[in-house]
Chain A
Amino acid sequence: MEIIAKISKGSKMDQIYIPKNRTSFAIGNYVIVKPLETEKIIKKPYFYGVKNVELVKLRMIEEVFSIIEKKIVNYDNIIITGSFLDNGFKFNDIDILIISNEKPVDISKDVEERTGIKVHLILLDNKSLMRGISIDPLYKIMLSKCVSKKRIILNVKKEINYKILDLHLLKSKILLDNFDILNGNEKYYLIRNMVAIYLFIKNKIISKDKVDDEIKKMFKLSDINEIKENILNKKEFLKKYKKMYNKTFDLIMDGIKNGAK
């Protein structure tokens, strides 16, 4: 038997009154008194392209959401993405995307203190996010594997801006001259950037897995970790990379020449 009652104020002690007519709680029985809390509704996050996440990471994600919600009241969404969601614990940091029209609040320090993980924070308003998804292949990769606080509704028309793609591709150029100084993860980001741009121009579907598959195919790799672990055959790799870079650059220049943006 359970009875719900209210604590009332007494002169020397406070008390809880219970009905005299009851079938249990005899005089002299010991009872537990505990507050009646309204059941907390825990909203599960939304998973996109994530097959499974370790329990400890899920707890961290909930922790991140909770920290951000305390600091930023009016947000449109909170998105966790990047290598943190890959299997295992080889990630360098946790990528957090906060979509909000509010003045940006840097919560990196709070999250880093509570989770012990380095934070890569991106603050965007909804309009910029939609624009990014429309013109930037890396946004597509980012949202193809993510966990978000709220549902992500993507109804964005793709637009190719060749000048922007030229700017993005330029970043991948440094791999040609700096193969020895760059670490495996840096190499992976530069290769992925180039391949995503190529697929974007070619109107192919872009997701993290699709881009990784394409990289494996292009460079004849059995595992994408060959790049991240920095064990590529320099001569063989750079030959293919240069060819692919020039091919993508030419496609962009054709686009610019033909009067596109």
Chain B
Amino acid sequence: MVQNRNKIIDLFIGNISNAIIHEILEKAIDVDEIISRYNKESKVSFEVAKKYREKINPVDKILPSEDIAKIRNKVINNVKNELNIRILKGYKNLNVTLVEETVDKFLKEMKIK
């Protein structure tokens, strides 16, 4: 059971990281270029993360502090890694300072912290 819970937490981390990266990348693009897109999966990472969150106990309350710290650190590292890959490949205007506050915002929305 513990192993299963850890696996679900890992999957949650992967998806919430993706949703956060998406939000930060959006901010690096001209606002005019972000048009309402046709596809239905635009918020799929967020929605999938939600599905996993519903399987992590306690569902209705925030998680224990050691879980919060573990999840927060892993998400921050994932997001920074992805952004750094892009920066190394020549991507400009990426605001890495936004990472921590965006991660906290998303984790609160998901009732993690």
| A residues lining the B interface (CB < 8 Å) | 95, 97, 120, 122-124, 128, 131-132, 135-136, 138-139, 142, 161, 163-164, 166-168, 170-171, 173-174, 177-178, 181-182, 186, 189-190, 193, 253, 256-258
8 A–B contacts, CB within 8 A, in A order: A123-B36, A124-B36, A136-B35, A163-B25, A171-B45, A174-B14, A181-B48, A189-B39
CA distance A163 to B91 in the complex (A): 8
Residue B84 lies at the interface, judged by CB distance under 8 Å to chain A: no
Please state if B38 and A122 are interface contacts (CB–CB under 8 Å).
Answer: yes
For residue A128, which residues in chain B have a CB less than 8 angstroms away from its CB?
Answer: 35-36
Please state if A122 and B29 are interface contacts (CB–CB under 8 Å).
Answer: no
Please state if A186 and B29 are interface contacts (CB–CB under 8 Å).
Answer: no
B35 and chain A: residue at smallest CB distance? A128
A189 and chain B: residue at smallest CB distance? B41
CA distance A131 to B32 in the complex (A): 10
For residue A135, which residues in chain B have a CB less than 8 angstroms away from its CB?
Answer: 33
Please state if A174 and B36 are interface contacts (CB–CB under 8 Å).
Answer: no
Within 8 Å by CB of A190, from B26, B28, B35, B44, lies B44
Within 8 Å by CB of A256, from B18, B52, B90, lies B90
Please state if B33 and A132 are interface contacts (CB–CB under 8 Å).
Answer: no
Please state if B36 and A138 are interface contacts (CB–CB under 8 Å).
Answer: no
Given known A-B contacts A132-B35, A177-B14, A178-B15, A253 and B91 have beta carbons under 8 A apart: yes
A172 and chain B: residue at smallest CB distance? B41
Within 8 Å by CB of A164, from B14, B33, B41, B44, lies B33
Given known A-B contacts A120-B40, A186-B41, A190-B44, A174 and B29 have beta carbons under 8 A apart: no
For residue B48, which residues in chain A have a CB less than 8 angstroms away from its CB?
Answer: 174, 178, 181-182
Please state if B91 and A193 are interface contacts (CB–CB under 8 Å).
Answer: no
Please state if A131 and B90 are interface contacts (CB–CB under 8 Å).
Answer: no
Please state if A138 and B11 are interface contacts (CB–CB under 8 Å).
Answer: no
Given known A-B contacts A253-B90, A256-B89, A257-B89, A164 and B29 have beta carbons under 8 A apart: yes
CA distance A237 to B52 in the complex (A): 23
Within 8 Å by CB of A193, from B41, B45, B86, lies B41
Shortest Cβ distance from B71 into chain A, in angstroms?
A: 16
Please state if B22 and A174 are interface contacts (CB–CB under 8 Å).
Answer: no
Residue B61 lies at the interface, judged by CB distance under 8 Å to chain A: no
Given known A-B contacts A166-B25, A171-B41, A189-B40, A257 and B90 have beta carbons under 8 A apart: yes
Name 15 extra pairs, CB < 8 A, besides A174-B14, A190-B41: A95-B38, A124-B35, A131-B35, A132-B35, A136-B35, A163-B33, A163-B91, A164-B29, A164-B34, A171-B39, A171-B44, A174-B18, A174-B48, A178-B11, A181-B51
Shortest Cβ distance from A134 into chain B, in angstroms?
A: 10
For residue A257, which residues in chain B have a CB less than 8 angstroms away from its CB?
Answer: 89-90
For residue A166, which residues in chain B have a CB less than 8 angstroms away from its CB?
Answer: 25, 86, 91
CA distance A132 to B36 in the complex (A): 9
CA distance A166 to B83 in the complex (A): 12
A196 and chain B: residue at smallest CB distance? B39
CA distance A233 to B89 in the complex (A): 33
Shortest Cβ distance from A247 into chain B, in angstroms?
A: 14
Residue B42 lies at the interface, judged by CB distance under 8 Å to chain A: yes
